[in-house]
Amino acid sequence: MVQIAIIGGGAAGMMAAATVAEQSPEAKVVLIERNKILGQKVRLSGGGRCNVTTGFSDMDEILRRYPRGRNFVKHAFYSFPPEKVMEWFEAHGVPLKTEEDRRVFPQSDKGDDVVGAFENLYQKLNVQVILGNGVQSISKVEGKFVIALSSGDPITADRVLIASGGEARATGGGYALASSLGHTITPLAPSLNAFVVQESWVKELAGVSFLSARFKLKGAHDFEFTGPFVFSHRGVTGPAVFSVSSLGAYELLKPEVPTRLLVDLLPTLGEPELLQKLQGEMAAHPKKTFENVMAHLVFKSVAEVACKELGIPAEKICAEMPRKDVNRSVAWLKGVPLTVIGRAAGDEFVTAGGVSLKEVDSKTMESKICPGLFLAGEVLDVDAFTGGFNLQSAWATGRLAGKFMAISK
Ligand SMILES: Cc1cc2nc3c(=O)[nH]c(=O)nc-3n(C[C@H](O)[C@H](O)[C@H](O)COP(=O)(O)OP(=O)(O)OC[C@H]3O[C@@H](n4cnc5c(N)ncnc54)[C@H](O)[C@@H]3O)c2cc1C
C-alpha cells in the first residue's frame, strides 16, 4: 500500500488529500497541519467569506491574472478549471454563487463551510489528519521519506507533498523543507498590497472611490494597470492597486526608496479631449469658480485637492484662469503624482516567488530533482491578482498532485 504524506492542511494540501482519498482508496494518506485547525487561511480568505475561485471561464482571461507561473499552471487549470472546482464543491455540499464581479463564494458566505466539506470527506474516507504538529525536516532514506514532526515519532512515506503555502501569515517553513531536498527558492516578496504614500493630502480624500483609474508605477521597472481603486488615509487601495503591486512585487517601495506613482483619474479621455471638455465647461460658466467647474468632471473633493496642490485659489473664476493653470490642472488629473513609500495590507496577501518552476513537472507536480516529492499551491513560484485566482491555483495544483502521487512510480 502506497503511503502518502501531505504537509500543510491549507487549500492545496486539503484538495490533494481529498483527491488521493477519492481516486485511490488503496493509498494510505496522512495530512499534517501545524495549526490546530485545517485551512486557517481558507477560512479567513475573502473577509471570512472565502472567494473560492473565479467565475471567468475563458482560459486566456484567467491566465492573464497570473504575473508569475502563468504557463506552469496551464495544464493543472485545463484539468481542473474553475467550473470543475465549482462542481466539486457543490457536489461536496457547498452550494456556490457568482457575484457581479465574477468572484465565487459559498452561498452561506462562510469560509468554514469550504473547509467543512473536506473535514466531512476525510471522516468518511478515513484520511488521517494530524493537527497542531509541524513538520521539522524531511530526509530521504533508502527510497523512503522520513518526516520529523515537532512532537511524536517520525512518519515514513513513499511520496510526500509539500503544500505549506506562502510566507504571508506563516513562517514559510516549507521553503526550507523544499530547499533541503535540493530545490531552488526564487526571491520571495509580498504581493497584493495597498500603497502607503508620502503625500499627506490623500487623507482628505479617504474613502473616495473610482470605478476606473490608470496606475503607472515608475520604479526600477515600469508597471501599469487600470481598474477600480479608493483613496485611504495613508495612500491608495483597491483592486487596481493590488494588481499593480502584484506586477511590481519586487519593487522595494520603502521610505529610503520612494517610488513615483501616477494615477490617471480619467483614463477614457485623452489629454487633448479632457482639455477641450474642461474649456467647454469654463466657457459655459465663466463666472463660476474654476474649482466648481472642475467638479463637473471629478468629485468636488478631488477638485478642491487639485486646486490646493496646484496653488489655484478657490475663489478664482473661470474667466480669470491663466491658460497655463488650466493645462496644469488637466495634466494633474491625467497623472496625479504620488510617491509610494511602503506597502500596507490589502484584502488578500500572497507571496511572490517560491520553489522554482523549472524544477517541477507541470503535468504531475512532481519534483524533477527529488522523485516522489510533489509540490503544490503557493509554495511554488505562482501567484495571481485578487478575485479567487490564488485559491484556484491551489485547488488545481493540489488536485493534480493528489492524482499523480497515488499512481506515480
Ligand atoms: C487574509 C487573506 C485573504 C485571502 N483571500 C483570498 C481570496 O479571497 N481568494 C483567493 O483566491 N485567495 C485568497 N488569499 C490567498 C489564498 O488564501 C492562498 O493563496 C491559498 O490559501 C494558498 O493555498 P496553499 O494551500 O498553498 O497555502 P495555505 O492555504 O496557506 O496552506 C498552507 C498550510 O500549510 C501549513 N504549514 C506550513 N508549514 C508547515 C509545516 N512545516 N508543517 C505543517 N504544516 C505546515 C500552514 O499552517 C497552512 O495551513 C487570501 C490570503 C489571505 C492571507
**How many CA within 13 A on the CB side of residue 231?**
19
Based on the domain organization, do 158 and 58 belong to the same domain? yes
Q: Quick check: CB of 346 below 6 Å from ligand 1?
A: no
Cα separation values, 23 from 16, 125, 403, Å: 10, 11, 7
Q: Which of 129, 126, 55 is nearest to 86 (CA)?
A: 55
Based on the domain organization, do 180 and 208 belong to the same domain? no
Which residue's CA is the nearest one to ligand 1's atom 45? 8
CA distance 149 to 137: 7
Based on the domain organization, do 237 and 340 belong to the same domain? yes
Tell me what pLDDT residue 275 has.
98
Based on the domain organization, do 18 and 104 belong to the same domain? yes
Going by their DSSP bridges, the two strands 3-7 and 159-162 should be labelled as parallel
69, 382 contact by CB (below 8 A): yes
Which residue's CA is the nearest one to ligand 1's atom 8? 46
Based on the domain organization, do 125 and 101 belong to the same domain? yes
Q: Quick check: CB of 24 below 6 Å from ligand 1?
A: no
Tell me what pLDDT residue 378 has.
97
CA distance 31 to 9: 6
Euclidean distance between the first and the last CA atom of the chain, given in angstroms as a whole number: 13
Domain boundary among 318, 346, 374: 346
3-class secondary structure, 68: strand
Question: What is the number of the ligand 1 atom nearest to the C-alpha of 168?
Answer: 53
**Which residues face 351 on adjacent strands?**
190
Which residue's CA is the nearest one to ligand 1's atom 23? 11
Question: What is the number of the ligand 1 atom nearest to the C-alpha of 40?
Answer: 49
3-class secondary structure, 360: strand
Q: Which of 254, 218, 221, 244 is nearest to 338 (CA)?
A: 218
Q: Quick check: CB of 67 below 6 Å from ligand 1?
A: no
Distance 224 CA to ligand 1 centre (A): 27
- Tens digit of pLDDT per residue, the chain (409 long)? 899 999 999 999 999 999 999 999 999 999 999 999 999 999 999 999 999 999 999 999 999 999 999 999 999 999 999 999 999 999 999 999 999 999 999 999 999 999 999 999 999 999 999 999 999 999 999 999 999 999 999 999 999 999 999 975 455 479 999 999 999 999 999 999 999 999 999 999 999 999 999 999 999 999 999 999 999 999 999 999 999 999 999 999 999 989 999 999 999 999 999 999 999 999 999 999 999 999 999 999 999 999 999 999 999 999 999 999 999 999 999 999 999 999 998 887 899 999 999 999 999 999 999 999 999 999 999 999 999 999 999 999 999 999 999 885 5
CATH code where residue 398 lies:
3.50.50.60
Cα separation values, 398 from 18, 58, 379, 409, Å: 9, 21, 11, 18
CA distance 305 to 298: 11
CA distance 221 to 403: 40
Based on the domain organization, do 248 and 316 belong to the same domain? yes
Distance 394 CA to ligand 1 centre (A): 9
CA distance 146 to 125: 24
320, 285 contact by CB (below 8 A): no
Q: Which of 247, 172, 176 is nearest to 217 (CA)?
A: 247
Distance 166 CA to ligand 1 centre (A): 7
Indicate the burial class of 92 (C-beta count within 10 angstroms; 0-12, 13-18, 19 or more): middle
**Which three cell numbers mark 44?**
479567513
Q: Quick check: CB of 44 below 6 Å from ligand 1?
A: yes
**Which residues face 339 on adjacent strands?**
260
Based on the domain organization, do 167 and 152 belong to the same domain? yes
3-class secondary structure, 50: coil
Q: Quick check: CB of 8 below 6 Å from ligand 1?
A: yes
CA 372 to chain CA centroid, Å, is: 29
Q: Quick check: CB of 353 below 6 Å from ligand 1?
A: no
42, 58 contact by CB (below 8 A): no
Calculate Rg over the CA atoms of the chain: 25
Distance 309 CA to ligand 1 centre (A): 42
Overall number of domains in the chain? 2
Based on the domain organization, do 216 and 68 belong to the same domain? no
Based on the domain organization, do 305 and 371 belong to the same domain? no
Q: Quick check: CB of 69 below 6 Å from ligand 1?
A: no
241, 229 contact by CB (below 8 A): yes
Cα separation values, 188 from 85, 249, 353, 360, Å: 28, 9, 5, 18
Q: Quick check: CB of 7 below 6 Å from ligand 1?
A: yes
Based on the domain organization, do 216 and 79 belong to the same domain? no
- Give the structural domain span for 286: 193-346
Distance 351 CA to ligand 1 centre (A): 10
Based on the domain organization, do 256 and 400 belong to the same domain? no
Which residue's CA is the nearest one to ligand 1's atom 49? 10
3-class secondary structure, 64: coil
Q: Quick check: CB of 394 below 6 Å from ligand 1?
A: yes
Q: Quick check: CB of 192 below 6 Å from ligand 1?
A: no
CA distance 86 to 104: 8
Pocket mutation for ligand 1, best pick of 129, 164, 169, 365 (most atoms within 8 Å of C-beta): 164
Q: Quick check: CB of 351 below 6 Å from ligand 1?
A: no
- H helices of 93-223, in order, are 111-124, 173-180
Q: Which of 216, 179, 88 is nearest to 373 (CA)?
A: 179
Domain boundary among 300, 318, 346: 346
Question: What is the number of the ligand 1 atom nearest to the C-alpha of 38?
Answer: 49
Based on the domain organization, do 333 and 223 belong to the same domain? yes
Q: Quick check: CB of 103 below 6 Å from ligand 1?
A: no
Domain boundary among 305, 323, 346: 346
Tell me what pLDDT residue 347 has.
80
Query: To 10 degrees, the CA torsion angle through 264, 309, 261, 202?
Result: -100
